[in-house]
Structure 1
Amino acid sequence: MDQHYLSQLLDTIIDDLLMRRKKRLQANSKIMHVIISGDDLTTLPATLDCLMALTHSGYCLRLAFSCSASHSALQATCLDALTQRGIDVLCDNCEPGAVTDNDWGLYLPALSTNSMSKIALGIRDNLVCRWAFYALAQNKPVIVTLNAECRHDSTTHFAPALRARLANYAAILMEYGCTIIGQPAPVSPEKRLLTLSDVRQHPSGDTLHIGGNTLITPAARDEIRDRGIAIVQRLKE
């Protein structure tokens, strides 16, 4: 058997195995499109845990990597870690309009400040934003985990006004219909008065969402200021 024939035979076998694998994965009726963005490797362990949980829940994972992820070490490291964990995925960087699946959802892990802000403001100039708006337009579930600096329990020393703005963007995503894992629920819009005792139930540096018609007592405002709590108030009804 000459070397050229052997090489062709190996290529044929590999192509056949890859096709069988693709068909096996696609046979699963539940598809989760996962768009991984950024270049922060510290977010990868939490992302991998979520992907494993989705796999165990019966989802076929179809991964796409943003430009920043594919041009950094994140893509190669992620795919290698998935292989080591035994998580089987399909990897394609298709645009959302190319989706042919029926039962699918969208997962945006470790969503960056940049992409979260753009989605909240209706900007669609990157892969993450295009996928987010396409899924929402198709009434598909959109699951988001936030980048560390965007979470309400972040240790990043942002000014209270900036933390409030980021929290407001997260609230807008929830109003769009996105599910944000780990995001605190807002104070009930039925609550008309926020008191000192209400504020003391929240840790220092927390972000508190309140209804548009909620009034804040002077003592509660002093406590909010002294403990660096950010207030996000909905528009008045």
Structure 2
Amino acid sequence: MIVQPDLSNRLDSIISRLLVRQRQGMVRVVITGMDPRVLPETLAALEALSQAGYGLRVTLSHSASLSAVYGAFQCWREGFAPELLYDTRMPQAEEEYSELFLPAISGNSLAKIALCLSDNVASAWAFHALCHGRKIIVTLGDEFTHAALPEAMREQLHRYIATLKSWGIVFPGVTTQSKGKQLISLADIRQQPAGTALRPGRNALITPAAQDEIRRRHIILYKD
């Protein structure tokens, strides 16, 4: 099962804290999927980044550009940041950005990245960032926690996320668990912003070093 805390009111501050190491950096944002319901969370994060002094460049996936997401994004842009540049293009060999942000990523794009299929905008930008040593931050959309999701699909999504995390891609506030026991290490905790919440799951095993880091960072643990 994939578990993440309620980030709807705190995603903006979480992303800002994650990126605080590089002030005034350029963040490339790739918006995927066709569901406009997840857009408010994404736009709150973009506003926080903009107000913190980060430059933004937004890329819309093919599906997003042909759906209601495009219209909602345009309305927000006209009201908040009319000067914000956006496009629908694949990355070029040389691109100026310090981090890649994939908010509310679609299941399709997540699978393509994990399977090394660089045939859509999100996966192309992800592989560009990986090849050039850029930090990648990913948050999950509602489809990943849908109650009706078949168990086999949950297991597969768990494997995809685990693959991406093994490449150094950051999923703030997200833990994964399978039918076995989940092991949370010091490296896992170091990816979490200080002062945020973590829901590791009922069967999780937390190493002593990870427990010390949880206390040091004042991370709140919620057990199912």
Instruction: Please report the TM-score for the alignment, with normalisation by the length of structure 1.
Output: 0.63
8 A Cα contact 2:89 2:121, kept in partner:
no
Q: Which amino acid aligns with 1:183?
A: V
The match for 1:8 is none
Q: Which amino acid aligns with 2:152?
A: A
1:59 maps to 2:54: yes
8 A Cα contact 2:184 2:204, kept in partner:
no
The match for 1:117 is 111
| SS class of match (2:174) | coil
8 A Cα contact 2:104 2:140, kept in partner:
yes
| Aligned mates of 1:173, 1:78 — CA distance in 2 | 27
1:156 maps to 2:147: yes
| Aligned mates of 2:165, 2:71 — CA distance in 1 | 31
Flag structure 2 segments of 5+ consecutive residues without an equivalent: 1-22, 177-181, 187-199, 207-223
Identical counterparts, % of pairs: 34
Q: Shift of residue 129 of structure 1?
A: 0.5
RMSD: 2.8
Q: Shift of residue 84 of structure 1?
A: 2.2
| Aligned mates of 2:170, 2:205 — CA distance in 1 | 16
Q: Shift of residue 131 of structure 1?
A: 0.4
8 A Cα contact 2:88 2:121, kept in partner:
no
| Aligned mates of 1:208, 1:162 — CA distance in 2 | 21
| Aligned mates of 1:135, 1:209 — CA distance in 2 | 32
8 A Cα contact 1:30 1:60, kept in partner:
yes
The match for 1:93 is 88
| Aligned mates of 2:205, 2:83 — CA distance in 1 | 39
The aligned length equals 168
| Aligned mates of 1:155, 1:73 — CA distance in 2 | 21
Query: Within 5 A, what are the aligned runs for 1:47-196?
Result: 47-86=42-81, 88-97=83-92, 99-101=94-96, 103-150=97-144, 154-184=145-175, 187-188=183-184
| Aligned mates of 2:95, 2:155 — CA distance in 1 | 39
The match for 1:219 is none
Q: Shift of residue 157 of structure 1?
A: 1.6
Deviations 1:121-166 (A, max 9, x none): 111110110000110110001111111122xxx2332222321211
Q: After the TM superposition, which parts of structure 1 deviate over 3 Å for at least 4 consecutive aligned residues?
A: 85-88, 207-210
8 A Cα contact 1:108 1:144, kept in partner:
yes
8 A Cα contact 2:32 2:109, kept in partner:
no
| Aligned mates of 1:209, 1:127 — CA distance in 2 | 37
Higher helix share: 1
Greater length-normalized contact order (CA 8 Å, ≥ 6 residues apart):
2
Flag structure 1 segments of 5+ consecutive residues without an equivalent: 1-27, 191-200, 211-228, 230-237
| SS class of match (1:181) | coil
| Aligned mates of 1:139, 1:113 — CA distance in 2 | 24
Q: Which amino acid aligns with 1:164?
A: E
| Aligned mates of 1:57, 1:104 — CA distance in 2 | 15
Report the structure number with the largest CA radius of gyration.
Answer: 1
1:33 maps to 2:32: no
| Aligned mates of 1:88, 1:51 — CA distance in 2 | 13
